[in-house]
């Protein structure tokens, strides 16, 4: 399959988690080198995608002030990241949706080309040195919409099950470790601090 052009890809940032291990702060606004996580990822993929969405269940006005379209979960209950994928897929206007969690520490330079080269019609997800990273993925948007709806109806919340159903390809990225900002220790190691207006939920 030829490379997927940027005009066919929407960036979907997943920021709907509760951050319970960090006192409920909004990870989207964690600052590293003075740049909020959400802004860091928008800038990083600005030339490889045509649009950007953020899955978030609070603070939509703040995202909109920086020109990001925020989408809330469409279903009640604790559905985990599947709810965010469902919301992003519903709002995506391009054939492809590139997703990543807002709390990643870093990604490799060739992430999009690597996923794009392997995506075929079914999509692809990354496997770094820590193992499968199912939320770092390039999804075919229309099939994802249908598959997410079926998974929610069946209460099958596992992302790997969704990707198995879609026949997505695992892409091994040797020597790459994305990392996550999950604990105070993670924040300290990455030099991340809460944004000025963050407060516990």
Phi–psi pair at 196, nearest 5 degrees: -60, -35
Helix (H) or strand (E) holding 111: helix 111-119
**Whole-number pLDDT of residue 197:** 56
**Whole-number pLDDT of residue 23:** 59
Sheet holding 31-32, edge to edge: 35-36, 31-32, 192-193
**Whole-number pLDDT of residue 25:** 82
Band (190; pLDDT cuts 50, 70, 90)? very high
How does pLDDT run across 112-146, given as a tens digit for each residue?
999 999 998 999 999 999 999 999 999 999 999 99
Taking a C-beta distance cutoff of 8 angstroms, is the pair 162, 146 a contact?
Answer: no
pTM: 0.93
DSSP state of 191: T
Residues 62, 92, 115, CA angle at the centre, nearest 5°? Answer: 105
Q: Which of 18-27, 55-64, 70-79, 138-147 has the highest mean pLDDT?
A: 138-147
Helix (H) or strand (E) holding 82: helix 81-91
């Amino acid at each position: 399959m030829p490379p997927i052009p940027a005009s066919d890809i929407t960036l979907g940032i997943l920021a709907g988690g509760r951050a319970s291990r960090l006192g409920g702060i909004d990870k989207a606004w964690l600052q590293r080198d003075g740049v909020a996580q959400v802004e860091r990822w928008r800038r990083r993929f600005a030339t490889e995608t045509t649009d950007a969405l953020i899955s978030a269940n609070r603070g939509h006005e703040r995202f909109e002030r920086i020109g990001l379209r925020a989408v809330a979960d469409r279903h009640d209950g604790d559905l985990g990241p599947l709810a965010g994928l469902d919301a992003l897929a519903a709002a995506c206007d391009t054939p492809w949706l590139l997703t990543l969690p807002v709390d990643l520490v870093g990604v490799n330079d060739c992430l999009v080309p690597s996923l794009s080269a392997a995506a075929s019609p079914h999509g692809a997800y990354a496997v770094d040195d820590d193992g499968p990273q199912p939320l770092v993925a390039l999804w075919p948007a229309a099939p994802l919409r249908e598959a997410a709806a079926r998974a929610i109806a069946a209460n099958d919340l596992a992302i790997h099950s969704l990707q198995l159903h879609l026949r997505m390809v695992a892409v091994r990225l040797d020597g790459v470790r994305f990392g996550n900002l999950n604990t105070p220790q993670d924040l300290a190691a990455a030099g991340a601090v809460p944004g000025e207006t963050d407060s516990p939920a």
